[in-house]
Chains A and B, each alone.
Chain A
């Protein structure tokens, strides 16, 4: 009689031959490779197709009081601005935020999926998951889809028992722990302002203003970034949205229009 091991196998299909010893690992579901003559070229094309979508500016940094997370809200398709009001900061749970850069659908779906996993962890273990753990879960999933065309460049920011946490996770499978990150086509401009003005000992208002300024400057120079600059703060009691300012209005706040001397004389002359 055939030995029935169906009860012993996990629900998810496993890569390669299942072995008793590796039963402890859970594998991600996979799909079949497309039928082409030149798979590498096809892969490159697929990646190029989603590349423009990383038109965005997001940033996050850790400072004395906690973590600041900020992003713009523009979505572009080539030269066309498809939306000025995209939510690029995703609320995974009350004490963790994720930023969106790359494919909007990929980011939204996988962040929501991460939120589910975090909640399940809480229910099973009667304690919140750490930022380290949450970012690792996401990174493992993205790594298992490596080369299949996912486009995700996200930062996981949160507050856990060990204090503030910030990780950068991307669809290449990379995961970095750090104090300051900026992701997207506008990130070089944002880094310029952020790195220049950053101090560890800032107040929440100072840090928020630095983030706002950095996003503003990125939207000023990068055509693929714009819309509304949102700033969030993550502290011991969870995240809180601090502001959402239209970058056009921010521009005139920072650089108010001053009449030039010629214009001033003309006004005076007209009055006289």
Chain B
């Protein structure tokens, strides 16, 4: 008689899946990640904990490619992320092989979300402890997209979103300040949102930009420059606020 391993994800009397909710807790403890969609560009930004002196920072890339036109950032258990990313990369190539076409962002998001859901309905396994932000360009229409998945396996498209530590404050900031932007403006908006909760400086955030041509990681100097611009703008706004009362 086949012995069924005790299922880990089961319903509670009031209809909750506690394992999934605990997984969401793990996500909430992970580093902050933000994604902003523009008209011709999508930007991903991730909080980077200061690197240990002896660590080779190049081996800790937090924003990864799933295919030439799709990138992913996540918050939560990094080891789970590695497994999920590998499966997604295989699926991207498998799709290219079976239908001779690259995946759409929606397709691969659906695949990843489906995978995350499978692990909430199987015996002897626990859910993946991560939420992902998936960005890319549709290979046919050239339209940029931003999607988010979570441990329960749900997914949806967003104009801008954040996940991980302090994601609520970032999302509030985005709701107040989001507008349709393009190019450099979108990058600035993403970095401004991230800087709400992260110490300023290129050392503490990793930013990558997805355009029709592909993914580009911004280097520290660039990020520092944009952060400085943002600081200057903030100060100008503060100064303007203080000035008018004096003129009266």
Contact = CB atoms under 8 A, between A and B. Distances in A.
Interface string A1-44: 11111111000000000000111110000000000000000000
Contacts of A2: 2-3, 5
B100 A24 contact: no
Contacts of B5: 1-4
A257 B91 CA distance: 64
Interface string A119-134: 0010011110110110
Which 7 residue pairs spanning A and B have beta carbons closest together?
Answer: A7-B122, A133-B99, A4-B123, A4-B5, A24-B90, A24-B91, A24-B94
Contacts of A1: 3, 5-6
A3 B5 CA distance: 6
Contacts of B118: 7-8
A136 B91 contact: no
A23 B87 contact: yes
Nearest to A7: B122
A130 B110 CA distance: 20
A129 B91 contact: no
Interface in B53-94: 86-87, 90-91, 94
Interface string A137-173: 1001000000000000000000001000000000000
Given A7-B118, A24-B94, A161-B140, A125 B100 contact: no
Contacts, number: 62
Interface of B: 2-6, 86-87, 90-91, 94, 98-101, 104, 106-107, 110, 118, 121-125, 140
B125 A130 contact: no
A112 B46 CA distance: 48
Contact of B101 (A3, A7, A124, A130): A130
A36 to B, nearest CB: 33
A3 B124 contact: yes
Contacts of A121: 99
A137 B4 CA distance: 36
Contact of B94 (A6, A25, A130): A25
A127 B99 CA distance: 13
A132 B98 contact: no
A205 B140 CA distance: 33
Nearest to A129: B99
Contacts of B2: 2, 4
Contacts of B87: 23-24
A132 B99 contact: yes
Given A1-B3, A6-B123, A7-B122, A140 B90 contact: no
Nearest to A139: B98
Contact of A140 (B3, B98, B101, B107): B98
Scoring A3, A5, A8, A24 by chain B CB atoms within 10 A of each residue's CB, the highest score goes to: A24
Contacts of B91: 24
Contacts of B121: 7
20 contacts: A2-B2, A2-B3, A4-B2, A4-B122, A5-B124, A7-B118, A7-B121, A7-B122, A8-B122, A21-B90, A23-B90, A24-B94, A121-B99, A129-B99, A130-B101, A132-B99, A132-B100, A133-B98, A133-B100, A137-B98
